[in-house]
A and B are shown apart, each in its own frame.
Chain A
Amino acid sequence: MRINCPICGDRDRREYYYQGAAVTLDRPAPDAEEAVWEDYLHLRENPAGRTRDLWHHEGGCGAWVVVTRDTVSHKIFEVALAADVKGAAR
């Protein structure tokens, strides 16, 4: 598996740390209800197919990237900087 970092280019999966579903970009307010925190921390869509997850290019530029990929075929559709994704959501 290779992930195309927007900053460094195409790199081996080994350079990246996998964080998990990209829901972790939307951190709830500290005083949000228990159910909201459970959603954020634990409950997952866990799709068989297209998914979005967060990886850290720790062996490269250090950027966090949002990877859109297929969990069945391991095909990667899109890699974007998490900073841009988060900025666009605001």
Chain B
Amino acid sequence: MRFSGWRVLREGLTGNKGWAPHWRDPEPKAEYDAIIIGGGGHGLSTAYYLAKNHGMTNIAVLEKGYLGGGNVGRNTTIVRANYGMPGNSEFYSHSLKLWEGMEQDLNYNVMHSQRGIINLFHSDGQRDAFARRGNTMIGQGDDAELLDRAAVKRMLPYLDFDNARFPVYGGLLHRRGGTARHDAVAWGYARGADQRGVDLIQQCEVTGIDIENGKVRGVQTTRGPIRAKKVGIVVAGRSGQVAAMAGMRLPIESHVLQAFVTEGLKPVIDHVVSFGMGHFYISQSDKGGLVFGGDLDFYASYASRGNMPMMEHVMEAGMTLMPMIGKAKVLRSWGGIMDMTPDGSPIIDKTDTEGLFIDCGWCYGGFKAVPGSGFSFAHLMATGDHHGPAAKFRLDRFRTGYGLMDEEATGAQHNLH
């Protein structure tokens, strides 16, 4: 089934009776050429690119819950390419280009909206730092514009420009940045993979990884054992537990990150806006809800909810920056489990076990990475070679200290990202 405007019109006129399920619900086979553990954004895009780019169609994605029920359906959907460190810079640049072709490629409306991201700055020093970041972005081939105060005022008239403590000096505008409908991204990749023959197996938790003589043989699951010579671990916040099934310890600590959404309002916030003096960023969904968030709660956690201190900080920062949102009622808040690495950058690599690969450590920024990560991880799994844009995401950088990518320059230490 192909989606098109014509199709929507026809279905609308004929009672919407012609729509079919977007993917099959197959029974697991006894053996596959490759298994992907985890049906989040990264697992599904990996399966899609394994099939599309490498012709590997006898593969399965094993998901313990339902497709897209993890972080891919819990995030605040910001998509951007404004990273500065070598390694991250080329990777996110590649990923953003894939975003720009995604809807056509998948024949799926993911509501990708390049509405522009504005990172506000509030001091001369911060202006210099943002100017430097903008130059890095231009240098990597992406877009950036430094806005002065008057230009920001024209675009975001609702800010408290003369706030006594944190006046707005200007902003760094990344026009190609924006948002997307998170569930649709998972569904689009799921449908694309399914159409190419990939088995998407839900309610199937991996409980063990079978290894013989240093080689992976398959996995144990709640729906029985499944054999495969290649296995990819793509389980985000649960990476530590699944890697432990292969006897590995990872440079990962799982933390909770919260997000909030208000009741639906008429359009008021046309961009993604972030505060430079506290942890707060915001955008407005197409349904009208103000979607906003801040930083981690900052302690190891597997609870899909956070605590009051960060909630309070985020609300205070929001009120400082844009007092107009004060009357909007917060409808929901939730948390997701983030796979935090010591340097805040991800891992796409082989492991010491032959045939076992791992893609993890996306911290709080892995939604924008969904296409790029799947593309590069599929390349690694299929060919055994690291893919150019993701070649620096190595697991051993934590042992050797060589190639650490400390994007925030806070130090490559667990509690600092």
Residues of A within 8 A of B (CB): 1, 12-14, 18-21, 34-35, 38-39, 41-49, 51, 53, 71-74
- Judge whether B334 is part of the interface by a CB distance below 8 angstroms: no
Shortest beta-carbon distance from B358 to chain A in Å: 14
Across-interface contacts of A20 in B (CB, < 8 A): 253, 300, 414-415
Across-interface contacts of A48 in B (CB, < 8 A): 238, 240-241, 254, 302
- Judge whether B15 is part of the interface by a CB distance below 8 angstroms: no
Residues of B within 8 A of A (CB): 238, 240-241, 249-254, 298-303, 307, 309, 342, 398-400, 413-415
Beyond A19-B415, A46-B253, whether A14 also contacts B342 by CB under 8 A is: no
Judge whether B413 and A41 touch: CB under 8 Å.
yes
Across-interface contacts of B342 in A (CB, < 8 A): 41-42
CA distance A1 to B251 in the complex (A): 26
Across-interface contacts of A39 in B (CB, < 8 A): 249
Across-interface contacts of B309 in A (CB, < 8 A): 12-14
Shortest beta-carbon distance from B403 to chain A in Å: 14
Across-interface contacts of A14 in B (CB, < 8 A): 309
Judge whether A38 and B399 touch: CB under 8 Å.
yes
Across-interface contacts of A53 in B (CB, < 8 A): 299-300
Beyond A45-B249, A46-B240, A48-B241, whether A18 also contacts B415 by CB under 8 A is: yes
Across-interface contacts of B307 in A (CB, < 8 A): 1, 13, 74
Across-interface contacts of A44 in B (CB, < 8 A): 240, 249-253, 414
CA distance A71 to B413 in the complex (A): 20
CA distance A21 to B300 in the complex (A): 8
Q: Which of B240, B251, B299, B342 has the most CB of A within 10 A?
A: B299
Q: Which of A1, A46, A53 has the most CB of B within 10 A?
A: A46
Shortest beta-carbon distance from A75 to chain B in Å: 10
Judge whether A34 and B241 touch: CB under 8 Å.
no
Beyond A44-B414, A46-B253, whether A18 also contacts B240 by CB under 8 A is: no
Across-interface contacts of A19 in B (CB, < 8 A): 415
Across-interface contacts of B413 in A (CB, < 8 A): 41
Across-interface contacts of A73 in B (CB, < 8 A): 303
Judge whether A42 and B303 touch: CB under 8 Å.
no
Closest A residue, CB atoms, query B300: A71
Judge whether B300 and A42 touch: CB under 8 Å.
no
What are 26 A-B pairs at a CB distance below 8 A? A13-B299, A14-B309, A20-B253, A20-B414, A21-B300, A34-B399, A41-B342, A43-B251, A43-B398, A44-B250, A44-B251, A44-B414, A45-B240, A45-B249, A46-B253, A47-B240, A48-B238, A48-B302, A51-B300, A71-B254, A71-B302, A71-B303, A72-B302, A72-B303, A74-B303, A74-B307
Shortest beta-carbon distance from A61 to chain B in Å: 20
Closest A residue, CB atoms, query B400: A34
Across-interface contacts of B252 in A (CB, < 8 A): 44, 46
Across-interface contacts of B240 in A (CB, < 8 A): 44-48
Closest A residue, CB atoms, query B254: A46
Interface pairs A-B: 3 shortest CB-CB: A46-B240, A42-B251, A43-B249
Judge whether A42 and B414 touch: CB under 8 Å.
yes
CA distance A61 to B298 in the complex (A): 21
Q: Which of B249, B300, B307 has the most CB of A within 10 A?
A: B300
Shortest beta-carbon distance from B165 to chain A in Å: 20
Shortest beta-carbon distance from A21 to chain B in Å: 7
Across-interface contacts of B398 in A (CB, < 8 A): 38, 41-43
Judge whether B399 and A71 touch: CB under 8 Å.
no
Shortest beta-carbon distance from B306 to chain A in Å: 10
Across-interface contacts of A12 in B (CB, < 8 A): 309
Across-interface contacts of B399 in A (CB, < 8 A): 34-35, 38, 42
Beyond A34-B399, A41-B342, whether A46 also contacts B300 by CB under 8 A is: yes
Beyond A14-B309, A19-B415, whether A71 also contacts B249 by CB under 8 A is: no
